[in-house]
Amino acid sequence: MNSALQCLSNTEPLTKYFLFDLHLSEINTFNPMGSKGWVSKAYCELMNEMWVSGSTWVAPHSVKSAIGEVAK
């Protein structure tokens, strides 16, 4: 999971998409098969922690939990 998140976070267009909140207009909260946006919101929070907050390390607990809820 660490390697996958590092690869995704270093994909500049994807990271900008989340850092500039462009994903918010595309979240479908009504899809009964979807995550109601939990995974994308958790990923957005993680990107902000990694690239904006200046933290020297982060733990992706919210992303792991969101994925775990969707894919039990």
Domain ranges (residues) in the chain:
2-70
Exposure class string for 30-56: b at 16+ Cβ within 10 A, else e: eeeeebbbbbbbbbbbbbebbeeeeee
Is the confidence at residue 10, as pLDDT, over 90?
yes
> When comparing pLDDT for 11 and 55, which is higher?
11
pLDDT of residue 71: 87
Per-residue pLDDT of 15-52, as tens digits, reads 999 999 999 999 999 998 889 999 999 999 999 999 99
Is pTM beyond 0.85? Reply is yes
| pLDDT of the residue at 27 | 94
Q: What is the per-residue pLDDT for 55?
A: 86
Nearest to residue 40, comparing CAs of 58, 3, 59, 14?
A: 14
